[in-house]
Structure 1
Amino acid sequence: MDSFARRFHRQTLLTVLPVLLLLLVIALAAGAPARTRGTDAEATAMMDRAEEFLRRDGVDAAVGAFASRDGQFIDRDLYPMLLDHDGVMLAHGWTPALNGTNLVDLRDVEGKPFMREALETVDKQGAADVTYQWLDPLSGQIARKTLHARRLALNGASYTLAVGVYR
């Protein structure tokens, strides 16, 4: 009986252990995307840093600083954007080729005029959170994104500073 119990125990362990290890790997993999994604709190902190930078160094300096891959303004999928009152992109962290482009009529993949909504809400309320569908630069897939934006006044001019968070 003792030998049977040991064989049974060993057989059970050999069956259950791989399943437990597989569950552990799945649990760890499920948590991995959270580490590669910026959070709402991190986006707000980045906007705070970007605002401090803009107040200290000015709008012209933001063009290079926001887009520097080795700088303080690109963190995983988080990056700042600065637009003028009319919706012209002045400094884009991920795609500096957009600088100088009027984006007020920019729409997401579903046709939502998210940039107009953000600019108008910021103009009326001082801040906006607009959710839309956009290409995720890390995955290459269309994903939900929330643009956190705020009004920023510098030298008598009004700007919109924003950082988006992929969902």
Structure 2
Amino acid sequence: MKKMIKFLISICCAIGLSTSALAAERGTAAEATELVKKAIAYYKANGKDKTFAEINDPKGQFTNKDLYLFAGAVKSGGVTLAHGANPKMLGKPLGDLKDVDGVYFVRKINEVASSKTGYGWVDYKWPNPTSKAIEQKSTYVERVDDIYFACGIYK
């Protein structure tokens, strides 16, 4: 019986450690917001071309853990200008893109970016490039000029 208890305790510890390791690999809402603000500062200092090139670099300064940035044109139906995880999205209008629940999340991102404040959060489901699973995602979006910068967290 003592061996069984020790075994169960060791299993629980292993699960706890792997869960902690997984949580440590996930970005937080604060980190996502900080990454967007860092990109905006970079954009203001370096312009569009350098900023988009840096965002598109999967090993660049705008990726951290499972966080990556993307940017879009606010008034163009969600044309993707930069994307840190999927270069196939570049130049494409994604306004008709839906998640698995039918949420037009790019439209919602554009609505937030076009709002009076120009910033906020949008919730939807999306494939996590790290885990490859469809997961709940919340994306922080902030507008500068006619561009939105965004970074999402997987939950």
* TM-score between both structures, scaled by the size of structure 2: 0.90
The size of the alignment, in residue pairs, is 152
Q: CA deviation at 1:15?
A: 4.4
Alignment of 1:7-156 (within 5 A): 12=2, 14-85=3-74, 86=76, 87-124=78-115, 125-153=117-145
The residue type paired with residue 34 of structure 1 is A
User: What SS does structure 2 have at the residue aligned with 1:34?
Assistant: helix
Q: Percent identity?
A: 32
Q: Distance in 2 between matches of 1:50 and 1:147?
A: 15
Asked if the contact 2:126/2:134 (under 8 Å) is kept, the reply is yes
- Structure with greater Cα Rg: 1
Letter in 2 for 1:165: I
1:72-94 deviation line (CA, Å, top 9, x unaligned): 11112211111112221111111
Aligned-residue CA RMSD (Å): 1.5
Secondary structure in 1 matching 2:44 = helix
- Give, in angstroms, the shift of residue 48 of structure 1: 1.3
**What stretches of structure 2 of length at least 5 have no aligned partner?**
none
Is the CA contact (8 Å cut-off) linking 2:112 and 2:141 kept in structure 1?
no
Whichever residue aligns with residue 53 of structure 1, its letter is: Y
**Conservation of the 8 A alpha-carbon contact between 2:73 and 2:79:** yes
Bigger relative CO (Cα 8 Å, ≥ 6 apart):
2
Could you tell me how far 1:146 is from its partner in structure 2?
Answer: 0.7
Q: Cα distance, 1:111 vs. partner?
A: 1.2
Given that 1:63 and 1:96 are in contact with CA atoms closer than 8 Å, whether structure 2 keeps it comes out as no
Q: Which amino acid aligns with 2:56?
A: A
Following superposition, the deviation at residue 18 of structure 1 comes to 2.6
